[in-house]
Amino acid sequence: MEAPLIAAIETGGTKINVALARAPEEILFQERISTTMPEETLKQIRIALEKAQKIHGKAQALAIGTFGPVDLSPQSLTYGMITETPKPGWSQTDILSPLRDFFQIPSIIDTDVNAALLGEAQWGEASQLKNAAYLTVGTGIGGGLLMNGKLIHGIGHPELGHMLVTPHPEDSFAGCCPFHGNCLEGMASGLALKKRWGRNADELEIDHPAWELEAEYLAQACYNLMMIVPPTKIIIGGGVMKQQQLYPLIRERFSGLLKGYLSYPEITDHLDSFIVPPHLGEKAALMGCVVMGQRILKRF
Amino acid sequence: MEAPLIAAIETGGTKINVALARAPEEILFQERISTTMPEETLKQIRIALEKAQKIHGKAQALAIGTFGPVDLSPQSLTYGMITETPKPGWSQTDILSPLRDFFQIPSIIDTDVNAALLGEAQWGEASQLKNAAYLTVGTGIGGGLLMNGKLIHGIGHPELGHMLVTPHPEDSFAGCCPFHGNCLEGMASGLALKKRWGRNADELEIDHPAWELEAEYLAQACYNLMMIVPPTKIIIGGGVMKQQQLYPLIRERFSGLLKGYLSYPEITDHLDSFIVPPHLGEKAALMGCVVMGQRILKRF
């Protein structure tokens, strides 16, 4: 039997991916839209989906993986609403209801990183795993956790980007998080790289000192995840991680921070399969939306 | 119907609590034993339980909540074994098998902090909660997490005591963790307090500057838990937390670290019921062992 067709929407801070898909090998339609003001953006999503459905048939469910913070509590009156964001115009924007009401199909929302983790749990690096962490390093830094086979939703959702990091003694950058200054996101996001070095991540040479420092902070994040959760695998994706040289640097600093404390073979012998890029690459979040959509259909 | 009678054993670094109990109001027997060398200690536990069973009847299951690190993977050949510990004589000590083989009843083991959290989840501060964190601040610092209603076991178990903290600018203490120096445990454990101030925690005046600094590091731990997990409640217990003045100080610093970032009413309006002492006090871990014992009986 064919898997249900899902309208998958990944809403990022600068662009939005819209797809109609059943699985990673069955993406029937995909289109990229710029993130502008909320009303205009939601309209563009609607138009793209209508166009796709005319060609490929009607989606059975709709799932959104969004930048946050977003209210994910289904009991809440503000479920599906972006709460407080520095992004102009988007605070208190309901992004779920307008699409659900228009398309009249079962709909669900989660964070983009939770979606990416779910995609990896179904078809990628975290398949067969009960516990895993996903960190995304782009303009900002976000993350999600899979524990006992389920995504974690506590009060709100994980905000891995805002964990504390210890500034490197030779790093004089004060950090760029509007709330915390030198939290992880303030020190290691794409925006932080740009503010610290005056250039975008993809404009910095492969042997630029930026990468040693970037690896230091991301290794601290991996270390804290390891002490607090601990995941069986840490997947790190996002635009900044297109710099493949970061992975070995992060692994090396992570080992350095552990100082021999944990002696699990997963860490001591197989670190290159413990801290990894997403198997689905940039499609992870969209594919996670497909999983989310297919799962809610089982409830109906 | 009467709840099953459980042999509950809490093995700490300096003392061991042995009990026969059905619930917090039904502790039929309790005895405290000093932690000496493994063989002698296991013998004393056995003698205490035999004595208790003669009076109160046979336990139906046996459950241990132990200091760690301990192998908790039931598939592992070294399940129930203390792995690497600075405690003389205890590395590679199997503490589960000798007792299980002697008493011939269903047996289970977890960390002392996971047990304490389970006790609180059944009868205390975390009852009705799906997500909660437990931090214990004694000679060392440990912690456990309840996520989606279950204790977290990843690779190994949470090692909250070893998360990174950012040293206070005016704190020149280098930390006392034999592995990491100035991790949370290295800066804020009972041992760290003693090494920094030359006196035990319970000998320091209520207005000693030690407590502001202690609250700073524990608030950093709560903050990181909040960003990474995030729990619906953080329970902090252990010997050092008998200093009740710490709770309001930690809450105040925790708010300070958030800097207005999260606006959930649980945090903004009800912080005194978000960061709390354990309801069961020193009995939390023993009661968690009772829960563990009663749960495995359901499998038989």
pLDDT in tens, chain A (300 residues): 789 999 999 998 889 999 999 999 999 999 999 999 999 999 999 999 999 999 999 999 999 999 888 888 888 888 999 987 778 899 999 999 999 999 999 999 999 999 999 999 999 999 999 999 999 999 899 999 999 899 988 667 788 999 999 999 999 999 999 889 999 999 999 999 999 999 999 999 999 999 999 999 999 999 999 999 889 999 999 999 999 999 999 999 999 999 888 777 888 889 999 999 999 999 999 999 999 999 999 987
The closest of B54, B74, B63, B65 to B4, measured between CA atoms, is B63
Q: How many CA atoms lie within 13 A of B131 on its CB side?
A: 22
Residue A256 tokens read as: 């350095």
* Same-domain check for residues B180 and B142: yes
Question: How far apart are the C-alpha atoms of A145 and B154, rounded to whole Å?
Answer: 11
Question: How far apart are the C-alpha atoms of B60 and A203, rounded to whole Å?
Answer: 66
Out of A164, A167, A267, whose CB is closest to B224?
A: A164
Structural contact between residues B197 and B172, judged by C-beta atoms closer than 8 angstroms: no
pLDDT score for B267: 83
Residue B85 tokens read as: 């510990």
Taking only the tens place, the pLDDT of each residue in B68-89 is: 888 888 888 889 999 877 788 9
Integer distance in angstroms from the first to the last C-alpha of chain B? 18
Whether B157 sits inside 8 A of A230 (CB atoms) is yes
Task: Identify whether A247 is part of a domain.
Answer: yes
Local structure of B93: helix, strand or coil: strand
Out of A152, A164, A262, whose CB is closest to B223?
A: A164
* Same-domain check for residues A49 and A136: no
* Same-domain check for residues B139 and B267: yes
Task: Name the closest residue on chain A to residue B155, using Cα atoms.
Answer: A232
The DSSP code sequence of A207-241 is T-THHHHHHHHHHHHHHHHHHHS--S-EEEESGGG
Whether A152 sits inside 8 A of B131 (CB atoms) is yes
Whole-prediction pTM:
0.90
Question: How far apart are the C-alpha atoms of B134 and B142, rounded to whole Å?
Answer: 8
Out of A165, A180, A267, whose CB is closest to B261?
A: A180
Task: For residue B75, count other CB atoms closer than 10 A to its CB.
Answer: 5
* Same-domain check for residues A181 and A236: yes
* Same-domain check for residues B86 and B159: no
Local structure of A110: helix, strand or coil: strand
Task: Name the closest residue on chain B to residue A134, using Cα atoms.
Answer: B228
* Same-domain check for residues B261 and B288: no
pLDDT > 90 in chain B, percent? 82
* Same-domain check for residues A74 and A145: no
Number of domains in chain B: 2
pLDDT score for A182: 94
Full residue range of the structural domain in which residue B98 is found: 6-115+282-297
Task: Identify whether A43 is part of a domain.
Answer: yes
* Same-domain check for residues B53 and B157: no
Residue B139 tokens read as: 């000679």
* Same-domain check for residues A227 and A289: no
Task: Identify whether B120 is part of a domain.
Answer: no
Residues in chain B closer than 8 A to A156 (CB atoms):
230, 262, 264
* CA distances from residue B195 to B95, B133, B136, B182, B190 in whole angstroms, order as listed: 31, 27, 19, 13, 9
Taking only the tens place, the pLDDT of each residue in B25-50 is: 999 999 999 999 999 999 999 999 99
Task: Identify whether B1 is part of a domain.
Answer: no
Low-confidence ranges of chain B (pLDDT < 70): 154
Task: Identify whether B250 is part of a domain.
Answer: yes
Out of B148, B232, B257, whose CB is closest to A155?
A: B232
The DSSP symbol for A277 reads -
CATH number of A91's domain = 3.30.420.40
* Same-domain check for residues B267 and B220: yes
Distance from CA of B141 to the nearest CA of A (A): 12
The contacts of residue B133 (CB under 8 Å, 6+ apart) are B117, B143, B144, B145, B146, B160, B225, B229, B231, B233, B234, B235
Task: Identify whether A155 is part of a domain.
Answer: yes
pLDDT score for A291: 97
Structural contact between residues A46 and A9, judged by C-beta atoms closer than 8 angstroms: no
Residues in chain B closer than 8 A to A131 (CB atoms):
152, 154-155
Question: How far apart are the C-alpha atoms of A211 and A188, rounded to whole Å?
Answer: 10
Local structure of B198: helix, strand or coil: coil
The contacts of residue A157 (CB under 8 Å, 6+ apart) are A68, A69, A70, A72, A110, A111, A114, A144, B230
* CA distances from residue A40 to A66, A82, A110, B59, B89 in whole angstroms, order as listed: 16, 16, 21, 67, 68
